Amino acid sequence: MATLHGWRAARVTPLGELYTPPRITAAVLRLTVQIVLVASLWHGLYAHTGTTAGLTRDQAVTYAVLAVLASRLRELDQYAARDTVVQHLHYGTIVYWYLRPLPPHRYYALRALGEQLYGFAWALTGYVICLAAGVVEPPGSAAVTGVFALSLLLGQWVLYYVMLLIDQLCFWTLRNDAAIMILIFAQNLLSGVYAPLWFFPDWFLTLSAFLPFQATLSVPLSLYVGRIPLSDAGAQLALQAAWVVALSLVTRFLWRRAARRVVSQGG
């Protein structure tokens, strides 16, 4: 089993980032600007009202800022590192994924785990600063903190599978640029990064309920700000877990099919 030390492959992306200081500077600047703008926007929107869509100003700002921080978890520049699946297929280097004792699906998962942990360090640092600066509210109770952490973990797991699905598409389509653009927009819109989902009309919420996106961010953030009460947390966590299981089955099937496509796609 190559996983004994193979787990260290998780360091690939964080190391690449650390060896490229301009990317770190850019991340700091971008995150700062985004948080300042988002906080200002929601403060502005609540300037003449105390509560909108059942949410207070502080809840709304907390939600929006946490959404910006959480989206940082998987926003690393793999394209610049020439380490995306589409690039490996384009350059024919994907064959090496199939020539190592660490199977491609496990390598992909480990690499994603490293990214996620690196992104988490950023998000946590940003959260602590925002909390200290009073930009975000602390969670309502220890129980909320625990449920939020579990829900965030499941949400990131769902997001991992959604992104994997898009990457697996490349084995058949060769390109996934359009799919990624749609994914980023859909993910940000339907997971509530742009705006909390309760601001949208009912038909939109119904549509969103059939897609995995709200399980990624909307659910954990809603639990954090109290929009979803703790009494409903069990059902929401179960739904997130169901998405994890369903997507893991689909992606496992696609990995097997993708192995047959390796050679014809530039291998």
Partner 1 sequence: MIGSIEVRGLSRTFHTTVRRPGFTGALRSLVNPERAVKHAVSDITFDVSQGELLALLGPNGAGKSTTIKMLTGILTPTSGEARVAGVVPYRERERNARNIGAVFGQRTQLWWDLPVRESFAILRDIYEVPRAEHAARLREFDDILELSTFWDTRVRHLSLGQRVRCDLAAALLHDPMVVFLDEPTIGMDVVVKEQVREFLRHQVEERGRTVLLTTHDMTEVERLAERVVLINHGRLVLDGTLDEIRRRFGSTWQVRATLADPHTPVGPLPGIVLVRRDGPQVVFGPDGPAAPTVHTALKLVIERYEVTGVAVDEADLEDVMRAAYVHANAEAV
Question: Could you tell me which of 167, 208, 105 has the C-alpha nearest to residue 97?
Answer: 105
Look up residue 43 and give its two tokens. Answer: 């403060």
Distance, C-alpha 205 to centroid of its chain: 20
User: Residue holding tokens 């050679």?
Assistant: 263
Q: Measured from the CB atom, is 19 or 210 closer to partner 1?
A: 19
Least Cβ distance, residue 91 to partner 1 (angstroms) = 6
Q: How far apart are CA 107 and CA 100, in angstroms?
A: 10
Residue 7 C-beta: closest distance to partner 1, Å: 8
Residues 37, 39, 41, 44, CA torsion sign: negative
Residues 130-169 that bind partner 1 (CB under 8 A): none
Q: Is the dihedral of CA 62, 63, 64, 67 positive or negative?
A: positive
Cβ neighbours for 98, distance < 8 A, ≥ 6 positions apart:
104, 259, 262, 267
- Pair 218, 188: CB distance under 8 Å: no
Among 40, 96, 138, 204, binds partner 1 (CB under 8 A): 96
Choices 2-10, 33-41, 219-227, 238-246; region in contact with partner 1 by CB under 8 A: 2-10
The nearest distance, CB 79 to partner 1, in angstroms, is: 11
Stretch that binds partner 1, among 13-21, 28-36, 58-66, 141-149 (CB under 8 A): 13-21
Among 21, 50, 99, 210, which residue interacts with partner 1 (rule: CB under 8 A)?
99
| Cβ-based neighbours of 67, under 8 Å, separated by 6 or more | 38, 192, 193, 217, 221
Q: Looking at beta carbons only, is 3 or 51 nearer to partner 1? A: 3
Q: Is 75 in the site for partner 1 (CB under 8 A)?
A: no
Applying CB under 8 A, which part among 81-89, 118-126, 134-142, 191-199 lies near partner 1? Answer: 81-89
9 binding partner 1? (CB under 8 A): yes
Binding of residue 14 to partner 1 (CB under 8 A): no
Q: Is residue 27 a contact residue for partner 1 (CB under 8 A)?
A: no
CA–CA dist 158, 248 (Å, integer): 9
Q: Binder to partner 1 among 27, 56, 58, 98 (CB under 8 A)?
A: 98
Q: Among 28, 29, 53, 80, which residue sits at the site for partner 1 (rule: CB under 8 A)?
A: 80
Closest CA to 238 of 146, 157, 154: 154
Task: Give the binding site for partner 1 (CB under 8 A).
Answer: 2, 4-9, 11-12, 15-16, 19-20, 80-83, 91-93, 95-96, 98-103, 107, 262-264, 267
